[in-house]
Amino acid sequence: MPQQDSTVELLTGKDSVGKKSKIPARLDLLQSATGLILSFFIIFHIVFESSILFGKAAMYRLTKIFEGEPFIEGGEPLIISALAFGIFVIFIFHALLAMRKFPSSYKEYQRYRTQSKMLKHSDTNLWFIQITTGFVMMFLGSIHLYTMMTQPENIGPYASSDRIYSDIAWPMYLILLISVVLHTGVGVYRLIIKWGWFDGSNPRANRIRSKKIIQAVVVVYLVLGLLSLGTYMKIGYDHQEEYGNRYSEVHK
């Protein structure tokens, strides 16, 4: 039965005639592809979301564009739900593929910690950062995506700020921000190394350069995210007496 065959291949790494299975390589490719899609999404997400730094009107306009207002009068928040659902499916799929690489027992985890301390190997430490931030994101990312799917109409300069400040979502966003930026940075670096994207004629020098560029981008994204979060908090703080009132371009 083909389905049984593929389960055996998945567990043993060998196919029914004992040849090395292609499934692990295919799963690896899928993991890289879904990771790349999510990385692009996050790179743009944090920039769009920082529109609040240009003022409430800028963030409001952008939200309306995402709701399709140029084509639908007043915008349609369901477009955001659909987008969030699509991202959620890729997010879950990516997490399921990654779970293959989680240490499967506490003993295995301890063995890994001892080895990584002995080796002081920076790539092993990167792997550890990715596993831990990925674990955190599985919970916090799911909460955030669920909120975006079910309350797409509650996105905007006041609605988002009320959620962040008065509904006390900021601790979750703070942890999610740090996790997602580190996870994306490490993930993209490991993709570059794994697939040798920018190796050129001097792989060693180019890998070191890639690492430095990614470290700089991670810092820029962390600062940008923190500044945006701080701005939403300030707006939420000033707006707490009018909690629940929505921003409109007429009555600012």
Find the residue with minimal CB distance to ligand HEM.
160
Residue with token string 């994204």 = 221
Q: Closer to ligand HEM at the Cβ: 163 or 239? A: 163
Spatial distance between the Cα atoms of 184 and 202, rounded to a whole number of angstroms: 25
What are 250's two structure tokens?
Answer: 């007429």
What are 60's two structure tokens?
Answer: 């409001």
Spatial CB neighbours of 224, under 8 Å, sequence gap ≥ 6: 46, 47, 50
Q: Assign residue 247 a region: left if phi > 0, alpha if psi is -120 to 50, beta otherwise? A: beta
Q: How far is the CB of 96 from ligand HEM (least distance, A)?
A: 15
Q: How far is the CB of 175 from ligand HEM (least distance, A)?
A: 9
Q: Closer to ligand HEM at the Cβ: 91 or 189? A: 91
Q: Closer to ligand HEM at the Cβ: 116 or 151? A: 151
Q: How far is the CB of 194 from ligand HEM (least distance, A)?
A: 22
Q: How far is the CB of 66 from ligand HEM (least distance, A)?
A: 7
Neighbouring CB atoms inside 10 A of 35's CB total: 21
Q: Which residues pair with 20 in a beta bridge?
A: 14
Spatial distance between the Cα atoms of 138 and 102, rounded to a whole number of angstroms: 13
Q: How far is the CB of 225 from ligand HEM (least distance, A)?
A: 4
Q: Closer to ligand HEM at the Cβ: 35 or 225? A: 225
State the DSSP H helix or E strand holding residue 168, giving kind and residue range, or none if neither. none
Q: Closer to ligand HEM at the Cβ: 103 or 230? A: 230
Q: Closer to ligand HEM at the Cβ: 42 or 192? A: 42
Distances, alpha carbon 67 to alpha carbons 74, 79, 81, in Å: 8, 6, 10
Spatial distance between the Cα atoms of 197 and 246, rounded to a whole number of angstroms: 46
Question: For binding to ligand HEM (CB under 6 A), which residues are involved?
Answer: 42, 45, 49, 80, 83-84, 87, 91, 137, 141, 144-145, 148, 155, 160, 163-164, 169, 173, 176-177, 180, 225, 228-229
Q: How far is the CB of 83 from ligand HEM (least distance, A)?
A: 4
